[in-house]
Structure 1
Amino acid sequence: MELKEYMNFVFPGLILKPSLYYQWDTRIHFELAKGLYQFKSEIDELNDEYFNRVYDQTTTLFNEIFSHNDELFLVTNVYKHKGDIKRNKKIKVYNHYINNKNIRFQLKEETLPYMFDDDDADEYYTSQFSLKCQKQDIRYPVLLKAICNQDFPPLRPRFNNRGISNYPDLFFINIKKNIIFYIYDDRGCEVIASDIEAIRPIYEKYNEWIDEYCREDTEQLFK
């Protein structure tokens, strides 16, 4: 089953773009590194404690959602200007963070409309890359760090955003459990599922990480 067929069957009507939480009812919004801040107080210096907490939490959630041999889709949205002469250049997510060189040849690309309601949206488009693989095929500890580091140039690893209008968005889809994991940046992440019981253990185990702005709705959902 390819990505489009899978999404239409399991998550009908859902668009793989930021703010999955507001598109789907079975959901959890986690706030990362609660109580800590990106910078040390009163000085313009990155807070190592904050980022180490973010890395630990995203990796922990990833390992809870994906078992070693789980099959998944790794989906990447790349947002480009229509006049970009490098439009056919493959995003380096798959070259740098996929261990299995053989499966890279199975990478698929689809051109989609721009995902955001900007005034000049007609001037942009979305290249959506998808790869069916297993958890063990992904260098996920460093890939998760790259997602979280995207707004902080001194940190590595980090995605190169030359030739694109925004940093890429990555979605990890567990095909067996029908769960989607999306880290939007260092501040938080979203988990959605086709069945509430698939994510109840995560809700119970990491309840204190839930975003407080969404807590009331989340508690109602899991009653």
Structure 2
Amino acid sequence: MILGAGLDPWAWRLAELARTDVWKVDHPASQQDKRARLAEAAAVPRETDEGDRRGGGLPVLARAVRFTPVDFAVDDLGTALEAARHGPSAPTTWRWEGVVPYLTLDEVRATVAALAARTAPGSALVLKYQAPSANAAVGRLLTRVLDGSVNAGEPWRSLWRPRQMAALLAEHGLRVVADEDLLDLARTLGGPTRARASLRSGRGAVAESR
């Protein structure tokens, strides 16, 4: 389950998903753009109730891809997933990256509550969020002023300290088993570390259902 899927290509790239249904949850406008791009590439998957894997020129490697339009600020995630045939009794891996800072505190809480209600034992949540950071805030402000970056101009609406995020997840039956800042993760994985302030305030966490 990819919350805030954007242009994520996993279902078309990872053979490991051959026995997995992938739900791509995102804002309706983003979904429309994604599907238009896929249509141009002649790669829109044809879904059936059985999860038809066939596509056009680009093979769909996942067992099924289910586009699920959701505006996290307006729509009920649980209702949307029910309509998209997500089964809450089967374990789900939730991937939630690049979304949390742009939601309000209440919207984050509502999303966590909705996904937790559809989380069976054996499920896991992988998420990225932003912790408070004066350096990161100043950096975003300077970027917006100097080059008019669209991403920098989109405000962060919620920042979370690790203990606050852990408490929220625990409230809904999810236990945090790992939580590291993105700079340490980048160093461990050998990734680029130039944006040190942003990476230091960004965090990656993994939580498991109890």
TM-score by length of 2: 0.31
Higher relative contact order (Cα pairs below 8 Å, separated by 6+ residues)? 1
TM-score, structure 1 normalization: 0.30
